[in-house]
Amino acid sequence: MQVTLRIKRYNPERDREARWEEYQLEAEPTDRVLDLLNKVKWEVDGTLAYRRSCAHGICGSDAMVINGKARLACKTLVKDLRQPITVEPMYGFRVKKDLIVDFEGFFAAYRSIKPYLINDDPEPDRERLQSPEDRERFDDTTKCILCGCCTTSCPSFWANPEYVGPATIVNAHRFIFDSRDKGAAERLRILNARGGVWRCRTIFNCTEACPRGIEVTRAIQEVKRAILLGQR
Ligand code: SF4
Ligand code: F3S
Ligand code: FES
């Protein structure tokens, strides 16, 4: 089939502002948008810039706005999209080149909530045991691949760049509700501050956008409740 692909392009060394470029490509209905981008880069214009790695929905590096919605290019099939297919860089982030955005702030926010197990108790002889029920408590948020689809879909993030964003809260949730972890109070204090969970207005775009099916808004609500009740 013939596909019309429109890509929002920006080269900081040459362009004053972003511009749309259109490509006519031969593709299979089962091709992914990532295949189309590769075709442009490898056969038409080698300067096209975008991130990708695993090509199988695992690494989280090829999030972009496709036909107005944040998605992973490697998980979005041509047959599921109306034409022309439009591809833009993620909203709410500074564009570095073409589809590559500046993710420094995103990862700084992620690091700020200490996304690792905190427990200074003496190490047990074997592993730190946990019941299936306790493990289930944070199972959903372990699935995050840090793609940023949730954060780039959030109007509160667009309006307040200081908001840590849903992806950070999801990763805080993963440890706050882990019965083996001792850092919950510290993380809840960080998320109760300016730029934390209270910037979330329960808009739900994040949940709709998550390619891993994580109940993002629910996780944020659980963190809010833990702050209000002083318990997890
Ligand atoms: Fe991506 Fe979902 Fe994680 Fe957000 S919660 S960063 S959308 S995997
Ligand atoms: Fe934004 Fe999701 Fe909250 S879209 S406002 S983080 S529910
Ligand atoms: Fe890894 Fe798409 S390239 S998630």
Superfamily in which the 104-229 domain is placed by CATH:
Alpha-helical ferredoxin (1.10.1060.10)
- Parallel/antiparallel/unpaired status of strands 2-9 and 85-88: parallel
200 CA distance to ligand 2 middle (Å): 5
Atom of ligand 1 nearest to the CA of 151: 4
Secondary structure string (H, E, C) spanning 46-101: CCCCCCCCCCCCCCCCCEEEECCEEEEHHHCEHHHCCCCEEEECCCCCCEEECCEE
**pLDDT number for residue 172:** 98
**pLDDT number for residue 161:** 84
> Ligand 1 test: best mutation among 113, 138, 144, 173, most atoms within 8 Å of CB?
144
Its pTM stands at: 0.95
pLDDT digits (tens, 9 = 90+) for 208-231: 999 999 999 999 999 999 999 976
Task: Report the nearest-CA residue for atom 1 of ligand 1.
Answer: 147
Residue 151 has pLDDT above 70, yes or no: yes
- 156 touches ligand 2 (CB under 6 Å): yes
Q: Which ligand is nearest to the CA of 205?
A: 2
**Mean pLDDT, residues 95-114 taken together:** 98
Give 207's pLDDT tier (boundaries 50, 70, 90). Answer: very high
What's the CATH architecture for 2-101? Roll (3.10)
Q: Which ligand is nearest to the CA of 32?
A: 3
Where in the chain do CATH 3.10.20.30 domains reside?
2-101
Residue 99 has pLDDT above 70, yes or no: yes
80 CA distance to ligand 1 middle (Å): 21
**Mean pLDDT, residues 192-203 taken together:** 97
